[in-house]
Amino acid sequence: MTASRIVALGHYQPPKVLTNDDLAKLVDTDDEWIRSRVGIRTRHIAVDETLVDLAAEAAQKALAASGRQAHEVDLVVVATCTAVERSPNTAAAVAARLGITAPAAYDINTVCSGFSYALATADHALRAGAATRALVIGAERMSDTIDWTDRSTCVIFGDGAGAAVVEAVPDEQAGIGPVVWGSEPAKGDAVVITGWDPTISQQGQAVFRWATTRIAPLARETCLKAGLDPSELRGFVAHQANLRIIDAIAGKLGAAPDAVIARDVVDSGNTSAASIPLALSKLVERGELRSGDPVLLFGFGGGLAYAGQVVRCP
Ligand code: UT7
């Protein structure tokens, strides 16, 4: 039997940083409101960088860290809700940029839970023998969807990308646990990105209530499905939507007091499908999570879709 594991990670954020004080010059807001309600201090905003630039930078770093060559990749999956091009899709454009010659290449849009969906589909393809080495990327230019006069959304989102190289391995080296996924489509209008010049709007309080009540039991179920009690986790990387949501879920999860809880939302804002690989890659790069550490990833948001799995750090 074959399983899969993450062998390397990479991330990229555009250099331009917007602070809360910068935003207070655009709309009626202030640093205190943003920090106390959402927990964000800064977010990175793409200026000249396209979505493909962001995704390709993160993917290139992950590939370099893996020690593999582009021609050894046979699957590219990009999770994004901000693709401008319909064809070629983002995955094909990234593959062309990196010199990956003949991969299966597709995009997935499940908004903020996209990376966990992409990782699950890559894991399933590798387990089925349909591929041997995958690049799984979460990338967003959320700034394309922002109405810069709307204070309820423009303070929240940011741009960036994170990527993982995932390889087929023998069962005993498995590093990606079973996915728990689903959605509540009847509540789909709680997060909307629509129009030719797409603009994001959300029912913030409704999503907040849903996330803080529905996600923790699903996160626990994900650990148990992986054969782990939540207290055995070394880390928890939730979708980085709001510090209060992350801490509420972490509090109910039952992780050990010394488990590492990702709080990258503080520096990066909400980068939708990019937020989980971005936060995970930074924690591994900083040595806060080590090789083999079990970490719960859990994405949730637009849809209202969710997905999560326990992974072993590369
Ligand atoms: O990733 C996609 C999934 N989305 C989420 O997970 C988002 C979940 N929801 C949230 O994170 C929070 O609901 C928000 C951060 C979006 C909003 O925080 P909140 O504590 O729920 O605020 P609210 O929407 O209830 O607004 C409270 C007040 C309102 O004023 P009034 O009506 O009480 O006078 C808003 O107009 O805060 C006002 N407000 C602001 N004030 C200063 C809204 N945005 C701002 C702002 N600065 N930027």
Which pLDDT tens digits describe the chain residue by residue (314 residues)?
699 999 999 999 999 999 999 999 999 999 999 999 999 999 999 999 999 999 999 999 999 999 999 999 999 999 999 999 999 999 999 999 999 999 999 999 999 999 999 999 999 999 999 999 999 999 999 999 999 999 999 999 999 999 999 999 999 999 999 999 999 999 999 999 998 889 999 999 999 999 999 999 999 999 999 999 999 999 999 999 999 999 999 999 999 999 999 999 999 999 999 999 999 999 999 999 999 999 999 999 999 999 999 999 99
| Ligand 1 atom with least separation from CA of 23 | 48
Distances (CA, A) of 63 to 19, 136, 278: 31, 11, 15
Q: Given the CA of residue 239, which atom of ligand 1 is nearest to it?
A: 1
> Terminus-to-terminus CA distance in the chain, angstroms?
21
Give the atom of ligand 1 at the shortest distance from the alpha carbon of 242.
Answer: 11
Tell me the CA–centroid distance for residue 202 and ligand 1, in Å.
10
The CATH number of the structural domain formed by 2-173 is: 3.40.47.10
**Which token pair is 166?**
């995932």
Size of the chain in residues? 314
DSSP H helices in 165-274: 204-225, 243-253, 265-268
Reading the block at residue 85, the tokens are 């091009």
User: pLDDT at position 292, please?
Assistant: 97
123 CA to centre of ligand 1 in angstroms: 36
C-alpha 152 – ligand 1 centre gap (Å) = 6
Task: Report d(CA 246, CA 153) in Å as an integer.
Answer: 18
Ligand 1 centroid to Cα of residue 200, in Å, is 14
* Structural tokens at position 129: 């023998």
**Bridge partners for 205 per DSSP:** none
Quote the CA–CA distance of 43 and 159 in Å, as a whole number: 7
Q: Which of 205, 209, 243, 270 to mutate to test the pocket of ligand 1 (most atoms within 8 A of CB)?
A: 205
Active site residue 270: yes
What pLDDT is stored for residue 38 in this prediction?
98
Is 44 an active-site residue? no
CA distances from 245 to 204, 208, 222, 291 (A): 12, 7, 18, 27
20, 89, 112, 313: the active-site residue: 112
Judge whether 11 counts as a catalytic residue.
Answer: no
pLDDT at 195: 85
Domain segments of the chain as ranges: 2-173, 180-312
From the CA of 207, give the closest atom in ligand 1.
Answer: 8
Kind of pairing, strands 305-312 and 260-261? unpaired
Closest alpha carbon to 175 in 291, 24, 77, 65: 291
* 198: helix, strand or coil: coil
For ligand 1, atom 21: residue with the closest CA:
205
- Exposed, middle or buried: residue 291 (CB in 10 Å: 0-12, 13-18, 19+)? exposed
Q: Whose CA is nearest to atom 6 of ligand 1?
A: 241
> Is 180-312 in the same CATH topology as 2-173?
yes
On whether the 180-312 domain is CATH 3.40.47.10, my answer is yes
d(CA 134, CA 136): 6
